Amino acid sequence: MNTADNDNFGVLLINMGGPADLDGIEDYLFRLLSDPMLVRMPLPLFAQRIWARRIAHIRAGRVRPRYEAIGGSSPLLQHTFEQASALEKTLGIPVEVGMSYSPPFVSDAMQTLAGRGIRRVVALPLYPQYSGSTSGSALADARKCAAAAGVELLEIQSHHNNGGFASALSGMLLEYLPLKSEGKTHVLFVAHSLPEKYIRQGDPYQTQLLETMQAVSVAIPDGVSHSIAYSSRMGPMRWLGPSVEEEIERLASENVETLVVQTLSFVSEHLETLYDLDMEAAGCARQFGIKNFIRVPAVGSHTEYISGLADAVRVTVEKGEAGND
């Protein structure tokens, strides 16, 4: 994409964000809980913001020890900048990072791109599977910011079936699968959960997630079973299940001795991988008698993943319209 026709194109990488330090936890949670597309409540926005501030204050105290356990901050921002740098190098056009709930915000990134003379921006949420509560919210924000900055916006709504993404996941999984192991080996795919109500209302997240799993699972050797479980359920609603803990208990009852865990909906390391999986899920596995717990890292800046994202951007630019890959 180094031709003159594409000189005024740029890419906006969007992710959720995370606290840069322990003191930033409450504000991060407040912004997250205030998003009416992410947390859908039968309240006017001002009332949800009041509720969000109260809950964020309570949850910040509970979450703080978890962030302390992983080093005092979220590494997601650093990892997203590394992905942006790799993608910019591959494409040869500007790539900026915008976060939904922590600096630098989507509005900051859009203004930076506009300031660099960019007039057409490809918005690329780093949520592989589309959900209205994540990608939908991020893209809605990007549309408002693009309008304010006077730039044209093209959208990549999902990349759950992207060949580079699937190839990176498959390759990394095979790297971490033990060549030989005593007893039964099982691959547990993990993804962020979502209220079942959203799925019934037509959200494509679960369907796209299972398509990703299908694309990756074909690489699993014969004799190694696999299943999926969901993390990060919150509140009284019914969420997609089983939970990671429930599935680990079931697998232990079936005499699984080696458990290989891979995330399908997270492309960067953050609290939900470094704490929820590496610490809580690993401890749960030990508690139920699973001898070996192996967690495959998130795809991050894997060469094939970045190459796949670059291909998705090129296709979107060529089409000149919003697209899915």
pLDDT digits (tens, 9 = 90+) for 161-217: 999 999 999 999 999 998 777 789 999 999 999 999 999 999 999 999 999 999 999
| Residue 322 pLDDT greater than 60, yes or no | no
**Which tens digit of pLDDT belongs to each residue from 26-64?**
999 999 999 998 888 888 998 999 999 999 999 999 999
* Pair of tokens at residue 25: 């936890």
Separation CA 32–CA 18 (nearest Å): 10
When pLDDT is averaged across residues 62-71 and rounded to a whole number, the result is 96
Q: What is the largest CA-CA distance in the chain?
A: 61
Separation CA 172–CA 316 (nearest Å): 27
Kindly give the interhelix angle for 205-217 and 163-176, rounded to the nearest 10 degrees: 50
The DSSP code for 258 is E
Architecture of domain 166-296: 3-Layer(aba) Sandwich (3.40)
Which band of pLDDT confidence, cut at 50, 70 and 90, is reported for residue 16?
very high
* Pair of tokens at residue 243: 């939970």
Which band of pLDDT confidence, cut at 50, 70 and 90, is reported for residue 321?
low
- 8 Å CB contact between 70 and 275: yes
**Which tens digit of pLDDT belongs to each residue from 209-247?**
999 999 999 999 998 999 999 998 776 789 999 999 999
| Residue 254 pLDDT greater than 80, yes or no | yes
Q: Which are the contacts of 210, defined by CB distance < 8 A and separation ≥ 6? A: 228
Architecture of domain 4-159+303-319: 3-Layer(aba) Sandwich (3.40)
Domain boundaries, the chain: 4-159+303-319, 166-296
CA atoms within 13 A of residue 256's CA, in its CB half-sphere: 27
* Pair of tokens at residue 202: 């037509």
Q: Per residue in 108-145, is it b (16+ CB within 10 Å) or e — as a string? A: ebbbbbbeeebebbbbbbbbbbbbbbbbbbbbebbeeb
Q: pTM (2 decimals)?
A: 0.92
Percentage of residues in the chain having pLDDT higher than 70: 96
- 8 Å CB contact between 107 and 96: no
pLDDT of residue 7: 63
Separation CA 29–CA 19 (nearest Å): 9
**Which tens digit of pLDDT belongs to each residue from 74-127?**
999 999 999 999 999 999 999 999 999 999 999 999 999 999 999 999 999 999
Which band of pLDDT confidence, cut at 50, 70 and 90, is reported for residue 3?
very low
**Sign of the C-alpha dihedral computed for residues 125, 128, 134 and 140 taken in this order:** positive
pLDDT of residue 291: 95
Domain 4-159+303-319 and domain 166-296 have a common topology:
yes
CA distance readout (Å), 244 to 155, 228, 254: 32, 8, 15
pLDDT of residue 324: 45
Strand partners, 212: none
Q: How many residues are recorded in the chain?
A: 325
pLDDT of residue 148: 95
- 8 Å CB contact between 316 and 122: yes
pLDDT of residue 180: 75
Which band of pLDDT confidence, cut at 50, 70 and 90, is reported for residue 2?
very low
